[in-house]
């Protein structure tokens, strides 16, 4: 396993446990993509580069160089010189033209992995990961491009990024820099994506790819509710259990593009990177640009394997928080309980009831600062509103702690309200185009985090509050998308850097936060789940999944999210009924069983809910802690999908040592005249016997996986069951 260079064939071979990635060099030094797929035991060869077919490589046939480049499967296509498919790199030189041509110069293979400057990225020790750097050069521009591949053999993951270095004397403009490209032959691929909207994020969509380009993207300044920086190409027969799938995910939280392009010759180019709209980066002599990291995996065993590869990888190599596998307090958040209408007394009432029920942390949401009693003011004025928090924040925290609960707090540090002292003092700190009144969203503007003094101010606001009291948790929100892209401090010709510099500012603030407060539990959030991406996971072990906590809607949202992200990263709460977003009533127990799939909490006024519901809470808290470790560390299997095919939903988490497994079954809609339904468990030991907890029923692992378990038929909608199978 690992990485080898086979000199006589000019081939780089990267092996993970089950996959191989092959790169070959043409005689001229073009860096070609030969193969990615099932593990190859031999060293491989380069016939798939098709250099012996017309139009032949330029060293043999100079008169057809552009047609050659237009068909050659390349690792990192550049724009302007004859490959008409989507490029990864467009460089404008001082003469005003766009064109670059990368040829191989050297390589380096080393154990471990280096950091990406200013960016979130995967990490691993020398035993976990090996890295290949291929150095390419455009000799005319004296531009060096370092293609970096890190191989995480255990989880079948390869990460890619690119570093662009200007070694010449020209002032260059990078008009597009993507992170990864995969040129393959088409296998009638289906493309899977995760589109959505506010309150219905990440719904799985699948459809056959057709000639031309099909893509998902964001130019909203965040990964977004609407589309998601994930793309998978799966062969048509691919199911959870079988079939091939290639997937890419982006370790970045800003603008992105993820695209599949079916060419005239039936080849497919799959790529991912920062969206080139609104992007133009100046690269002066001696300067370096780092493109964010893309994560690639291949599974020959269906979508389930792809999912588990991502889960293992993110848990081991992206999430840094000490809470990754640690106990996370069951929290109660006052947003849907009170919205802006609260004060210390109200919060203490909630905390008191919550403490009695076993809840472990109170989170004070939006509305505690400035003069914020509705959403049209005060963002940026992060001083405690002592009309509401009457005896001050340290005293409130102390009282909540005395009730036995930890204390958490909400911030939206990247924002500025037009009606705020901050805006009155620094109107130029809002992102805006000179001479044009910027558009508001939720009556707010976005801070220009390309300015170091703004980053410092916003960070200081958060840190000062955290320094003032023992605060255990922060919900970091971001409630509007970016537009009117202009900065008062960047020069005219550097305005195209703003959106990426904004992201670097966000990352810098979060990095400072986790360094200064290493024990803080950070939860990222963006108007629900608009920033649920691996970039954010690098800073926070959990992310608010959606503002919709309706148990039925959550089935779809959590299924889509868990297709890629570990269960414990999904912030999942029990809300009140009728649900505030869709108006649906669901049983309290089902709301609990659905929230159990993520990181558990409550989003309701515990002082007002029905007694029968309140009485269920201690049991639910106990249930969460009983299964917490299994959910944080186990293998996730999707057994049935309500959103895709069935009137019920079903998933399983099996312990890695196969000692036990938890199955959640939700009957969304009752059907008349039905037998019991069979579900096929996964991830068990065939020869072992498993007892269904709370019963005398014993099954062999083989039976449960091959013959299945029978879920009794029952009447009623939104009914759910938990089945815990424990090895005898």
Residue 306 tokens read as 């792809």
Interaction of residue 366 with ligand GLA, rule CB under 6 A? yes
Question: In whole angstroms, how close is the CB of 373 to ligand GLA at the nearest point?
Answer: 12
Between 87 and 546, CB nearer to ligand GLA: 546
Between 369 and 502, CB nearer to ligand GLA: 369
Give one DSSP letter per residue of 176-203, joined into a string. Answer: EEEEEEEEEE--S-EEEE---BTTB---
Give the residue among 113, 131, 130, 132 at the shortest CA–CA distance from 122.
113
Residues 6+ apart with CB under 8 A from 277: 219, 255
- Kindly indicate which of the ranges 69-77, 346-354, 520-528, 640-648 contains the residues binding ligand GLA, using the contact rule CB under 6 A: 520-528
Reported as half-sphere exposure (CB side, CA atoms, 13 A), residue 494 has a value of 13
Write down the catalytic residue from 477, 548, 605, 649: 477
- Kindly indicate which of the ranges 138-146, 166-174, 415-423, 523-531 contains the residues binding ligand GLA, using the contact rule CB under 6 A: 523-531
Sign (positive/negative) of CA torsion 124, 125, 129, 135?
Answer: positive
Question: In whole angstroms, how close is the CB of 363 to ligand GLA at the nearest point?
Answer: 9
Between 30 and 382, CB nearer to ligand GLA: 382
Chain-centroid distance of CA 11 in Å reads: 32
Between 177 and 581, CB nearer to ligand GLA: 581
Question: In whole angstroms, how close is the CB of 441 to ligand GLA at the nearest point?
Answer: 12
Name the closest residue to ligand GLA (Cβ): 366
DSSP 3-state of 701 = helix
Helices 393-402, 452-468: axis angle to 10 degrees equals 50
Q: If you count DSSP H runs as helices and E runs as strands, how many of each does the chain have, helices first?
A: 14, 38
- Kindly indicate which of the ranges 139-147, 390-398, 524-532, 592-600 contains the residues binding ligand GLA, using the contact rule CB under 6 A: 524-532
- Angle among Cα 260, 261, 264 to the nearest 5 degrees reads 155
Between 476 and 538, CB nearer to ligand GLA: 476
Long-range residue pairs from 490-494, CB within 8 A, at least 24 positions apart, any chain: 490/450, 493/282, 494/282
Instruction: Please give, one letter per residue, the 3-state secondary structure of 360-398.
Output: CEEEECCCCECCCCCCCCCCCCCCECCCCCCCCHHHHHH
Question: In whole angstroms, how close is the CB of 579 to ligand GLA at the nearest point?
Answer: 14
Question: In whole angstroms, how close is the CB of 474 to ligand GLA at the nearest point?
Answer: 12
Between 238 and 420, CB nearer to ligand GLA: 420
Q: Which positions from 525 through 544 interact with ligand GLA, judged by CB under 6 A?
A: 525, 527-528, 544
**What spatial distance separates the first Cα and last Cα of the chain, rounded to whole Å?**
36
Chain-centroid distance of CA 41 in Å reads: 33
Between 505 and 601, CB nearer to ligand GLA: 601
Question: In whole angstroms, how close is the CB of 544 to ligand GLA at the nearest point?
Answer: 6
- Kindly indicate which of the ranges 9-17, 323-331, 521-529, 625-633 contains the residues binding ligand GLA, using the contact rule CB under 6 A: 521-529
Question: In whole angstroms, how close is the CB of 580 to ligand GLA at the nearest point?
Answer: 11
Q: Which positions from 471 through 490 interact with ligand GLA, judged by CB under 6 A?
A: 477, 479
Give one DSSP letter per residue of 592-658, joined into a string. Answer: HHHHTTSEEEEES-TTTS-HHHHTTHHHHHHHHHHHHHHHHHSEEEEEE-TTTT-SEEEEEEE-TTS
Interaction of residue 233 with ligand GLA, rule CB under 6 A? no
Active site (annotated) includes residue 477 = yes
Q: Which positions from 322 through 361 interact with ligand GLA, judged by CB under 6 A?
A: 335
Size of interface with ligand GLA, in residues (CB under 6 A): 11
Between 16 and 378, CB nearer to ligand GLA: 378
Dihedral over alpha carbons 346, 350, 355, 359 (to 10 degrees): -140
Residue 141 tokens read as 């521009």
Write down the catalytic residue from 448, 547, 550, 635: 547
* Alpha carbon distances (Å) from 56 to 47, 67, 117, 263, 700: 12, 9, 39, 18, 59
Active site (annotated) includes residue 15 = no
Asked, as a colleague might, if the bond just before 55 is cis with ω within 30 of 0, I would say: yes
Question: In whole angstroms, how close is the CB of 592 to ligand GLA at the nearest point?
Answer: 19
How many of the other CB atoms lie within 10 Å of CB of 316? 17
Question: Element (H or E) spanning 464, and its range?
Answer: helix 452-468
Question: In whole angstroms, how close is the CB of 361 to ligand GLA at the nearest point?
Answer: 15
Q: In whole angstroms, what is the distance from residue 498 CA to residue 585 CA?
A: 45
How many of the other CB atoms lie within 10 Å of CB of 550? 24
Sign (positive/negative) of CA torsion 270, 273, 278, 279?
Answer: negative
Q: In whole angstroms, what is the distance from residue 124 CA to residue 154 CA?
A: 11
Between 122 and 417, CB nearer to ligand GLA: 417
Q: Which positions from 540 through 599 interact with ligand GLA, judged by CB under 6 A?
A: 544, 547
Between 268 and 471, CB nearer to ligand GLA: 471
**Binding string, residues 394-423; x marks residues near ligand GLA by CB under 6 A:** ----------------x-------------
Question: In whole angstroms, how close is the CB of 198 to ligand GLA at the nearest point?
Answer: 8
**Binding string, residues 176-205; x marks residues near ligand GLA by CB under 6 A:** ------------------------------
Which residues are identified as catalytic?
Answer: 477, 547
What residues make contact with ligand GLA under the rule CB under 6 A? 335, 365-366, 410, 477, 479, 525, 527-528, 544, 547
């Amino acid at each position: 396993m690992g990485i080898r260079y086979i000199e006589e064939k000019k081939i780089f071979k990267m092996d993970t446990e089950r996959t191989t990635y092959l790169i070959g060099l043409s005689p001229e030094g073009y860096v070609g993509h030969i193969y990615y797929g099932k593990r190859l035991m031999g060293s491989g060869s380069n016939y798939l580069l098709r250099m012996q077919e017309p139009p032949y490589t330029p060293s043999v046939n100079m008169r057809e160089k552009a047609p050659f480049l237009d068909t050659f499967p390349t690792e990192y296509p550049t724009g302007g010189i004859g490959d008409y498919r989507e490029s990864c790199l467009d460089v404008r030189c001082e003469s005003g033209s766009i064109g670059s041509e990368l040829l191989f110069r050297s390589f380096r293979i080393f154990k471990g992995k280096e950091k990406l400057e200013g960016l979130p990225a995967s990490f691993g020790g020398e035993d976990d990961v090996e890295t290949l750097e291929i150095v390419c050069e455009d000799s005319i521009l004296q531009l060096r491009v370092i293609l970096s591949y890190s191989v995480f053999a255990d989880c079948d993951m390869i990460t890619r990024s690119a570093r662009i270095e200007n070694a010449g004397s020209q002032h260059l403009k990078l008009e597009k820099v993507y992170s990864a490209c995969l040129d393959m032959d088409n296998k009638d691929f289906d493309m899977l994506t995760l589109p959505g909207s506010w309150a219905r994020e990440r719904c799985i969509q699948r459809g056959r790819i057709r000639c031309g380009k099909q893509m998902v993207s964001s130019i909203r300044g965040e990964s977004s509710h609407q589309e998601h920086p994930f793309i998978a190409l799966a062969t048509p027969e691919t199911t959870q259990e079988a079939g091939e799938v290639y997937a890419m995910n982006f370790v970045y939280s800003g603008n992105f593009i993820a695209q599949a392009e079916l060419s005239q010759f039936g080849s497919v180019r799959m790529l991912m990177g920062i969206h080139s709209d609104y992007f133009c980066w100046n690269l002066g002599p001696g300067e370096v640009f780092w493109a964010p990291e893309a994560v690639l995996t291949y599974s020959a065993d269906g979508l389930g394997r792809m999912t588990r590869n991502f889960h293992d990888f993110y848990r081991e190599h992206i999430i840094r928080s000490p809470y990754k596998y640690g106990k996370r307090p069951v929290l109660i958040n006052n947003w849907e309980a009170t919205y802006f209408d609260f004060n210390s007394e109200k919060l203490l009432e909630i905390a008191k009831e919550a403490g009695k029920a076993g809840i472990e942390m109170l989170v004070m949401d939006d509305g505690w600062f400035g003069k914020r009693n509705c959403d049209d003011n005060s963002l940026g004025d992060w001083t405690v509103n002592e009309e509401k928090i009457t005896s001050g924040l340290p005293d409130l925290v102390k009282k909540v702690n005395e009730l036995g609960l930890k204390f958490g707090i909400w911030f939206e540090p990247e924002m500025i309200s037009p009606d705020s002292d901050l805006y009155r003092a620094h109107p130029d700190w809002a992102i805006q185009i000179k001479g044009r009144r910027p558009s508001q969203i939720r009556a707010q503007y976005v801070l220009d985090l390309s300015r170091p003094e703004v980053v410092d101010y916003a960070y200081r606001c958060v840190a000062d509050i955290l320094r003032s009291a023992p605060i255990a948790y922060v919900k970091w929100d971001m409630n509007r998308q970016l537009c009117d892209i202009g900065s008062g401090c960047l020069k005219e010709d550097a305005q195209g850097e703003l959106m990426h510099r904004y992201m670097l500012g966000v990352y810098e603030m979060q990095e400072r936060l986790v360094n200064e407060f290493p024990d803080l539990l950070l939860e990222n959030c963006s108007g629900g789940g608009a920033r649920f991406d691996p970039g954010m996971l690098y800073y926070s072990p959990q992310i608010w999944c959606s503002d919709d906590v309706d148990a039925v809607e959550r089935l779809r949202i959590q299924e889509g999210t868990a297709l890629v992200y570990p269960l414990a990263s999904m912030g999942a709460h029990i809300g009140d009924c009728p649900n505030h977003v869709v108006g649906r009533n669901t049983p309290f127990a089902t709301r609990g069983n659905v929230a159990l799939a993520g990181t558990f909490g409550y989003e309701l006024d515990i002082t007002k809910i029905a007694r029968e519901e309140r009485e269920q809470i201690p049991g639910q808290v106990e249930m969460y802690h009983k299964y917490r470790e299994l959910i944080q560390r186990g293998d996730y299997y999707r057994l049935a999908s309500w959103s895709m095919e069935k009137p019920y939903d079903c998933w399983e988490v099996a312990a890695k040592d196969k000692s036990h497994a938890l199955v959640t079954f939700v009957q969304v809609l009752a059907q008349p005249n039905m037998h019991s339904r069979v579900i096929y468990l996964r991830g068990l030991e065939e020869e072992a016997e498993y007892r269904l907890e709370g019963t005398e029923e014993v099954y062999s692992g083989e039976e449960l996986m091959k013959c299945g378990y029978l879920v009794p038929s029952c009447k009623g909608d939104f009914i759910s069951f938990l089945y815990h199978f424990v090895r005898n």
